Amino acid sequence: MSNAVSTAPGPSVGVRNSKQTEQRKAALAWLTIPALFFFLVFAVIPLAGVLILSFTSWDGIGAIGAAGLDNWFSVLADPGLYNALGLTFLIMIVSWLVQTPISLLLGVFTAGSQRYRAVLAVLYFLPLLLSSAAVAIAFKALLDPNFGLATGLGLPFLAQDWLGVPQLALGLVIFVIAWQFVPFHTLIYQGGVRQIPKSLYEAAQIDGAGTIKQFFHITLPQLKYTIITSSTLMVVGSLTYFDLIFVLTGGGPGNSTRILALDMYLRGFRANLMGPASVIAVILVIIGLALALFLQRLGGKDKQGSQLEGL
């Protein structure tokens, strides 16, 4: 590696300049060591372990035995996998469709400087401070058809079997996820909107553009990268929704909310099938990587450049 560097034709810059860059690069290499170390210990080694486990049969207690491709064939032939995959993507897409407009509008709204907006922003932010398990337990208690909010307030239309009917349970899971995570994305959009230079709006006003026109022609295009960031977090994050659904429905009723991450846990730690659970884990990693790369591509090649270019 060092040979290649020394023999490579240098760029057409001064000698001193190139020396400085090299030193800086060396310093940067040193700085990456702690990060690399943790990445190795907590990401690469476990990942390799999971990959190896996916080719073994292990009940988590006894000896580990080689299984070849058996786990992969059995998991790929299992309709449960496709149910979980479908649900994962359904929750991902619907969550994105629900959360993005709400957080975008709330973000734009709270980006103003009036005091009442600041107060509201704090209120919107509250759900994010609660742990997922607490949110799930609270919603479960509120929606209990016999002892919940419906009987407490005398609202019969609320007395549905919310978590006991497959479609209702799925809808409710998406609602609770949105309730919990919209504040976070609102915060991202709020920050994004505040970065947009005021001069753009002033110019638009002079040209006679109204609020709606300003939103669609200035705010939205300027938020492109914020939307991509928020969407990446939403989409990749939705692959790991676990605690909330685990406490709220446990994957039920039936298999109607058994998403991939939950399926992995239930196979591994409930059914003692570590091999097949590892297969699911590997599939999850692949999907997560593919989605993250896809969303980065959406950002276009110029994403490294400044957003303020040309001003």
Partner 1 sequence: MKQPQTSRRSFLALAALTPFAVAATSACGTSGPGASSGNGGASMWFLSGEPNQTNMQKAVDAFNQANPDNKIAITFFQNDAYKTKIKTAIGANQAPTIIYNWGGGTLKTYAEANQVEDLTSWLDSEPDLKKKFFPSTFSAATVNGKIYALPNMYVGPIVLFYNKELFQKAGVTPPKSWDDVMSLVKTFNGMGVAPFSLGGQSRWTSMMWLEYLLDRIGGPDVFKAIFEGKPNAWMDPAVIETGTKIQELVSADGFIKGFSSITADSNADQALLYTGKAAMMLHGSWTYGPMKKDGKNFVQDGKLGFVQFPSVPGGKGDPKNGVGNPANYQSISAKASDKEKESAKKFLKDGIMTDAMIDAYINSGSVPIVNGIESKLNTSPDKDFLNFVYDLAKNAPSFQQSWDQALSPTAAEALLNNIDQLFLKSITPQQFAENMNGTLGK
State which of residues 39, 73, 82, 147 lies at the interface with partner 1 (CB under 8 A). 147
CB 72 within 8 A of CB 54: yes
Least CB distance to partner 1 at residue 157 (A)? 14
The backbone region for 291, taken as left when phi is positive above 0, alpha when psi lies in -120 to 50, beta otherwise, is: alpha
CA-nearest of 259, 263, 290, 293 to 278 is 263
Rule CB under 8 A: say whether 288 interacts with partner 1: no
Least CB distance to partner 1 at residue 41 (A)? 6
Rule CB under 8 A: say whether 39 interacts with partner 1: no
State which of residues 104, 169, 261, 281 lies at the interface with partner 1 (CB under 8 A). 169
In the shown chain, the binding pattern of residues 248 to 277 toward partner 1, with x for contact by CB under 8 A and - for none, equals: -xx-xxxx----------x--xxxxx----
Distance CA 84, CA 3 (A): 50
State which of residues 139, 162, 181, 189 lies at the interface with partner 1 (CB under 8 A). 162
Q: Which residue number, 103 or 257, has a Cβ lying nearer to partner 1?
A: 257
3-class secondary structure, 65: strand
Distances in Å between the Cα of 217 and the Cα atoms of 15, 19, 198, 223 are: 47, 46, 14, 11
Length in residues, the chain: 311
Rule CB under 8 A: say whether 65 interacts with partner 1: no
Rule CB under 8 A: say whether 157 interacts with partner 1: no
Least CB distance to partner 1 at residue 32 (A)? 9
Rule CB under 8 A: say whether 127 interacts with partner 1: no
Rule CB under 8 A: say whether 26 interacts with partner 1: yes
CA-nearest of 278, 273, 263 to 62 is 273
Rule CB under 8 A: say whether 296 interacts with partner 1: no
Half-sphere exposure of 299 (CA within 13 A, CB side): 22
Least CB distance to partner 1 at residue 246 (A)? 11
Distance CA 55, CA 71 (A): 7
